[in-house]
Amino acid sequence: MVAVFEPSEYQARTSRAQELMGQHGLVAMLLTCEADVRYYTGYLTRFWESPSRPWFLVVPAIGKPVAVIPSIGAALMGQTWIDDIRTWAAPQPGDDGVSLLADTLRDLAPSGNIGLPYQLESHLRMPLGDYAALQAALPDHSFGTDHGITADLRQVKSEAEIAKIATACTIAGKAFADVPTIATIGTPLSDVFRNFQRLCLQHGADWVPYLAGGADQAGYCDVISPASDAPLQEGDVLMLDTGLIHDGYFCDYDRNFAVGRASAVVQQAQHQLMEACAAGLEAAQPGATAADVYHAMHAIVGGSDAGRLGHGLGMQLTEGLSLIAEDHTVLKAGMVITLEPSVATQNGRLIVHEENIVIREGGAQILSPWSKPELEVI
């Protein structure tokens, strides 16, 4: 099913953005990345996997957003609430939509400040040479920060969005519950990875953009490696961390499994990780900051090479706030975040655990099936 909300949701998002644009003196915002474009339009396609074509969405000071996109996307964009769709035959050497975009921006605002995502975690998905050409074509406009308007709005999810993330979490939970059927002593880790993705699809994932993990004695050395063909051995801790998609929304959590037996060190680690998650859950109240949640967890497990103890989640695998000492984002009801502590076990190995929650008035709600304090032995 296509992840299209009611037009009123996109209208409300646009109106909120336009109010903030007014406060910051922006005559338009220019968006080029998948999640930002989808946030205002509902335009959902895996075609962004192809880097060949740029896609532009302009949010004007008033009125609906305007899409300036390759002609290959016209039919699908035409199914959204957007009605001003301007296309060119991309990719086109020499002028790959730049003059069409410049004309569009000039139509919508003859001059003024145009905001772009500018801060942490953002990038401009168009060639630098084309960005320079765009600026040169619009001497009466200036290009600069969007003051984080879209990123901030995206952090607080609607109930419709939360429901989609919750479903993604439920699907992953069913796949994790089936891991004992696909992983045992002797199974190559690469087979575990392939078959775990098959389980995610079987239980309803639309696709599985992210799977990482590891397996080694009493922990693993890093959490972002692709799978090797090494067979699981007794005493390994197997970790699988997935970001699967349901209707355009991610879950992002992992599970650990003790292969054959669970040593005291490993069980102690699991206890400590779940204690840290419980502390994070307790601290994750509206009005607290990301740093408050970090400190609550850090008191139990200390820091991490991952650089943070959790993060926001939604249309992207990771988005928005980071659970670090330096992030003073104030939590609001509707924010969906991960709690992701890790502990060192032995010989430079670690175990990472992750849960997904949504901030609610009166206390955070758990979205991932909360793990037990004991590691499951497979």
Say which residues have a Cβ less than 8 Å from residue 123's Cβ, sequence separation at least 6.
Answer: 33, 117
Q: Name the minimum Å distance from CB 171 to a copy of itself.
A: 11
Q: What distances in angstroms separate CA 137 from CA 101, 110, 126, 140, 340, one per listed residue? A: 10, 12, 16, 9, 46
> For the residues of 246-273, what is the DSSP string, one character each?
ETTEE--EEEEEESS---HHHHHHHHHH
Q: Name the minimum Å distance from CB 145 to a copy of itself.
A: 6
Q: Are 232 and 184 in contact (CB under 8 A)?
A: yes
Q: Name the minimum Å distance from CB 49 to a copy of itself.
A: 4
- Residue with smaller CB distance to a copy of itself, 15 or 225: 225
- Residue with smaller CB distance to a copy of itself, 94 or 362: 94
Q: Name the minimum Å distance from CB 93 to a copy of itself.
A: 5
- Residue with smaller CB distance to a copy of itself, 106 or 203: 203
Q: Are 182 and 203 in contact (CB under 8 A)?
A: no
Shortest CA distance to 148 belongs to which of 124, 181, 117?
A: 117
Cα dihedral 82, 58, 111, 21 sign: positive
- Residue with smaller CB distance to a copy of itself, 51 or 139: 51
Q: Name the minimum Å distance from CB 365 to a copy of itself.
A: 24
- Residue with smaller CB distance to a copy of itself, 84 or 327: 327
Give the span between the Cα atoms of 107 and 174, in whole angstroms.
51
Answer left, alpha or beta for residue 24, where phi above 0 means left and psi between -120 and 50 means alpha: alpha
- Residue with smaller CB distance to a copy of itself, 60 or 312: 312
Residues in the chain: 378
Q: Name the minimum Å distance from CB 63 to a copy of itself.
A: 26
Q: Name the minimum Å distance from CB 44 to a copy of itself.
A: 6
- Residue with smaller CB distance to a copy of itself, 118 or 370: 118
Give the span between the Cα atoms of 140 and 193, in whole angstroms.
53
> For the residues of 43-100, what is the DSSP string, one character each?
---GGGG--SS--EEEEESSS--EEEEEGGGHHHHTTSS---EEEE-SS-TT-SSHHH
Q: Name the minimum Å distance from CB 361 to a copy of itself.
A: 27
- Residue with smaller CB distance to a copy of itself, 15 or 347: 347
